[in-house]
Amino acid sequence: MVASQDASSAIGVGAPGRSGSQGLLRAKLLVAGLIVLALLGVFCASLLREATTTSRTAGATARRPSLTPPRPALTPAEEAYAQALWAIHGDVKSAAYKLTFSGLRYKLKQADGPEFGTGVRDASKSFGQVEARVRALAPPPSLRQVHAQYLDAVHLFQRSAAEMLKVTADGRDDHLLAAHPLSQEASETLLRVGNMIWPGEYLPN
């Protein structure tokens, strides 16, 4: 709107009887006015943006913030045990997933009874195999409790699988309800063990 008024006043610049130098002066004033307006606009927009966005530099720091005290490093014997168990851990988790999705798919009617039974039996068989592998490990004294915890978790999964399989015999879903807390506890135990010997197993996702 302001720019239009300036433009209209500039119309007079070239009107008969006015000198050319005056016209030129007004034209220059018009251009200067437009520039000031544009700068004002940019200024307002930047003010608004500043108010609503971050100044990244404020939070920027090249220094590492203080950390919680680091855990003691594992000894070579502990490290060797952690690596050996890690090689088995993937299979334990895979069997746990198989158990969970067997139940999930059955409940969601994405799998029938025979398919459910096959999945649970497969998982159960896997747990039996990994139990033998875990038992074959020789933990250092400092990790004997961790070792026992891990075996407990595998046993819980096995018990859960056995309970779930009863569904195939009598078709009653309450076996799934009875089995669930066992798998839940086993899964929590896996995390507790991981926290002891595999820090960083799960990163922020």
For residue 175, the tally of other CB atoms under 10 A from its CB is 19
> Does 7 help bind another protein (rule: CB under 8 A)?
yes
What is d(CA 87, CA 110) in angstroms, rounded to the nearest whole number?
32
> Does 49 help bind another protein (rule: CB under 8 A)?
yes
> Does 27 help bind another protein (rule: CB under 8 A)?
yes
> Does 128 help bind another protein (rule: CB under 8 A)?
no
**Residue 43 CB-density burial (10 A; 0-12 exposed, 13-18 middle, 19+ buried):** exposed
**Segment 86-115, which members bind another protein (CB under 8 A)?**
86, 89-90, 93-94, 96-97, 100-101, 103-104, 107-108
CA angle 67, 70, 74 (to 5 degrees): 160
Listed residue (90, 101, 79, 84) closest to 126, CA to CA = 90
Q: Helix or strand or coil: residue 201?
A: coil
**Segment 56-75, which members bind another protein (CB under 8 A)?**
56-65, 67-68, 71
Among 17, 52, 114, 171, binds another protein (CB under 8 A): 52
Among 38, 132, 138, 148, binds another protein (CB under 8 A): 38
**Minimum distance, C-beta of residue 95 to another protein, in the bound complex (Å):** 9
